[in-house]
Amino acid sequence: MRREAFAVPPGIYLDGNSLGLQPHAAHARVQQRLAEWGEQAALGWDDWFGLAERLSPAIARLVGAHPDEVIATGSITSNLHALVGTLYRPEGRRRHIVATALDFPTDLYALAAWAERGGGELRLIPSRDGHTLHDDDLQAAFTDEVALVLLPTVLYRSGQLLDVAGLTAAAQRAGALIGWDAAHTIGALPHAFHEHGADFAVWCHYKYVNAGPGAPGGLYLHRRHHHLTPALPGWWGNDKGSQFEMAPGYLKASGAAAYQMGTPPILSLAALEGALSVFEDLEMTAVRERSLQLTDLLIRLADEHLPELQLVTPREHARRGGHVSFAHPEAHALSLALRARQIVPDYREPDVLRLAPVALYTRPEELETLVQVLRGLLDSGGHLQHQRVAGAVT
Ligand SMILES: Cc1ncc(COP(=O)(O)O)c(C=O)c1O
Model confidence over 315-330: pLDDT tens digits? 999 999 999 999 999 9
Kindly state whether residue 254 falls inside one of the protein's structural domains: yes
Q: Contact, 332 vs 352, CB < 8 A?
A: no
CATH of the domain at 324: 3.90.1150.10
Distance 152 CA to ligand 1 centre (A): 10
Kindly state whether residue 12 falls inside one of the protein's structural domains: no
Q: Are residues 267 and 290 in the same domain?
A: no
Q: Are residues 353 and 331 in the same domain?
A: yes
What's the half-sphere exposure (Cβ side, CA atoms, 13 Å) at 305? 19
Query: Which burial class, exposed, middle or buried, applies to 392 when counting CB atoms under 10 A from its CB (0-12, 13-18, 19+)?
Result: exposed
Kindly state whether residue 17 falls inside one of the protein's structural domains: no
Task: Decide which of 256, 277, 298 is a domain's last residue.
Answer: 277
- Of ligand 1's listed atoms, the one at least distance from the Cα of 76 is 10
Q: At what angle do helices 76-87 and 105-117 cross, to 10 degrees?
A: 30
pLDDT value at position 353?
97
Whether residue 207 lies in the annotated active site: yes
Q: pLDDT per residue over 231-274, tens digit each?
A: 999 999 999 998 888 889 999 999 999 999 999 999 999 999 99
Say which residues have a Cβ less than 8 Å from residue 21's Cβ, sequence separation at least 6. Answer: 6, 7, 8, 9, 13, 210, 358, 361
Q: Which domain holds residue 339?
A: 283-393
Kindly state whether residue 74 falls inside one of the protein's structural domains: yes
Residue spans of the chain under pLDDT 50: 391-394
Q: Is 203 in the pocket of ligand 1 (CB under 6 A)?
A: no
Q: According to the annotation, is 259 in a ligand binding site?
A: no
Distance 153 CA to ligand 1 centre (A): 12
Task: Decide which of 228, 261, 277 is a domain's last residue.
Answer: 277
Q: Are residues 60 and 208 in the same domain?
A: yes
Q: Contact, 181 vs 17, CB < 8 A?
A: no
Quick one: how far is CA 31 from the chain centroid?
26
Q: How many domains does the chain have?
A: 2
Q: Are residues 297 and 335 in the same domain?
A: yes
Kindly state whether residue 7 falls inside one of the protein's structural domains: no
Q: Are residues 270 and 321 in the same domain?
A: no
CATH of the domain at 150: 3.40.640.10
pLDDT value at position 383?
60
Q: pLDDT per residue over 105-124, tens digit each?
A: 999 999 999 999 999 999 99
